[in-house]
């Protein structure tokens, strides 16, 4: 009796184990007796065709958008303008002459050549004669005209150097003569000599200094004459006043204030006489 009861229990346990197997697992397959991970996945009918895997979504492509087929790469080429042709140089016309330019564009014309004296030999003779007479200014003028027309004309260059040297010597002689007249009180002669020296040699420093000196001395003597004229005028000595006013007017610069007063008083005194 005990053996029959044990046999019954064993049969019941075996039946329970067999019924407990998952329905999706085939007998003898992998994972038999254990729950499968694919239980949650939707089951497909056995006759349905397998679905293709979803394509990968590229960056910037919205989810769910239908991917477009890649178009073949097209090489971009930018249109390059053709090189500009250089303007063709004008070709000479018949006879080798160039065609005239369009109106409105004036071309700079070269300056006309300096007029050439008709007779350079005559000018050279005149310069030589002027040097002999001591007229160095006339000789220098003629020789410079010759050399301007022809820098290598005969011995004009040497003669010009000689003429300038003679002019410098004459200028110094005029300065010495003027200094003697200045010491004697002959201001008019002194001024003329100094002016001549500056004409002969504009760069003469002794002549310039002498002219400055004599002008200052003349002004000092003129102011002294004006003072004496005022004194004589106040004393009623009209003749002496007139003489001093005349001297002041002669020695003073024309724009000097005392010279203006001297001219007015001289006119009044002469009108009263």
How confident is residue 202, by pLDDT bands cut at 50, 70 and 90?
Answer: very high
The mean per-residue pLDDT over the stretch 208-214 comes to 96
Name the more confident of 167 and 23.
167
Per DSSP, the residues of the chain read -HHHHHHHHHHHHHHHHHHTS-TTS-TT-TTTTS--GGGSSPP--TTSPPPPPPPPPPTTPPTTPPPPPPPPP----PPPPPPPPPPPPPPP-GGGPPPPPPTT-PPPPPPPPPPPPS-HHHHHHHHHHHHHHT-HHHHHHHHHHHHHH-TTSTTHHHHHHHHHHHHHHHHHHHHHHHHHHHHTT-HHHHHHHHHHHHHH-TT-HHHHHHHHHHHHHHHHHHHHHHHHHHHHHHTT-HHHHHHHHHHHHHHS-TT-HHHHHHHHHHHHHHHH-
pLDDT(96) > 80:
no
Name the more confident of 153 and 12.
153
pLDDT(69) > 80:
no
pLDDT(156) > 70:
yes
Query: What pLDDT is stored for residue 193 in this prediction?
Result: 97
Instruction: Please report, rounded to a whole number, the percentage of residues in the chain having pLDDT higher than 90.
Output: 53
b/e map 193-215, b = 16+ CB within 10 Å: bbebbbbbbeebebbbebbeebe
pTM: 0.53
**Nearest alpha carbon to residue 200 among 179, 175, 180:** 175
pLDDT(100) > 60:
no
Query: What pLDDT is stored for residue 40 in this prediction?
Result: 40
How far is Cα 268 from Cα 8, in angstroms, rounded to an integer?
Answer: 182
Query: What pLDDT is stored for residue 80 in this prediction?
Result: 52
Name the more confident of 73 and 241.
241
Print the SS3 string covering 149-199.
Answer: HCCCCCCHHHHHHHHHHHHHHHHHHHHHHHHHHHHCCCHHHHHHHHHHHHH
The mean per-residue pLDDT over the stretch 182-186 comes to 93
**Nearest alpha carbon to residue 221 among 176, 256, 193:** 256
pLDDT(24) > 50:
no
- For the ranges 94-98, 175-179, 208-212, the lowest mean pLDDT is seen at 94-98
pLDDT(255) > 90:
yes
Phi, psi of 136 (to 5 degrees): -70, -30
Phi, psi of 206 (to 5 degrees): -60, -40
Name the more confident of 101 and 131.
131
Name the more confident of 175 and 57.
175
How far is Cα 65 from Cα 205, in angstroms, rounded to an integer?
Answer: 107
pLDDT in tens, 112-132: 665 555 589 899 999 999 999
**Nearest alpha carbon to residue 117 among 80, 90, 156:** 156
Query: What pLDDT is stored for residue 47 in this prediction?
Result: 47
pLDDT(26) > 50:
no
Average pLDDT, the chain: 75
How far is Cα 157 from Cα 146, in angstroms, rounded to an integer?
Answer: 9
Query: What pLDDT is stored for residue 105 in this prediction?
Result: 58
pLDDT(50) > 80:
no
Query: What pLDDT is stored for residue 110 in this prediction?
Result: 73
The mean per-residue pLDDT over the stretch 102-111 comes to 63
How confident is residue 97, by pLDDT bands cut at 50, 70 and 90?
Answer: low
How far is Cα 140 from Cα 163, in angstroms, rounded to an integer?
Answer: 6
The mean per-residue pLDDT over the stretch 85-95 comes to 55
């Amino acid at each position: 009796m005990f053996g029959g009861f044990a046999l019954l229990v064993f049969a019941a346990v075996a039946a329970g184990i067999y019924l407990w197997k998952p329905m999706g697992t085939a007998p003898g397959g992998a994972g038999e007796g254990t729950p499968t991970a694919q239980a949650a996945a939707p089951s497909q009918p056995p006759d349905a065709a397998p679905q293709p895997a979803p394509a990968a979504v590229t960056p910037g492509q919205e989810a769910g958008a239908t991917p477009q087929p890649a178009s073949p790469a097209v090489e971009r080429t930018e249109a390059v303008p053709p090189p500009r042709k250089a303007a063709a140089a004008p070709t000479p016309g018949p006879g080798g002459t160039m065609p005239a330019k369009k109106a409105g564009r004036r071309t700079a014309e070269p300056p006309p050549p300096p007029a050439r004296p008709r007779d350079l030999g005559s000018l050279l003779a005149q310069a030589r004669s002027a040097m002999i007479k001591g007229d160095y200014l006339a000789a220098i003028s003629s020789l410079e005209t010759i050399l301007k027309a022809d820098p290598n004309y005969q011995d004009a260059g040497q003669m010009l150097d000689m003429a300038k040297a003679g002019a410098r010597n004459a200028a110094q002689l005029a300065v010495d003569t003027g200094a003697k007249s200045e010491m004697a009180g002959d201001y008019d002669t002194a001024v003329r000599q100094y002016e001549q020296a500056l004409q002969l040699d504009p760069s003469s420093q002794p002549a310039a200094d002498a002219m400055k000196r004599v002008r200052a001395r003349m002004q000092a003597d003129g102011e002294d004459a004006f003072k004496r004229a005022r004194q004589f005028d106040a004393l009623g000595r009209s003749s002496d006043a007139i003489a001093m006013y005349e001297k002041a007017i002669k020695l003073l610069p024309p724009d000097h204030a005392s010279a203006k007063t001297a001219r007015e008083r001289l006119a009044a005194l002469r009108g009263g006489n």
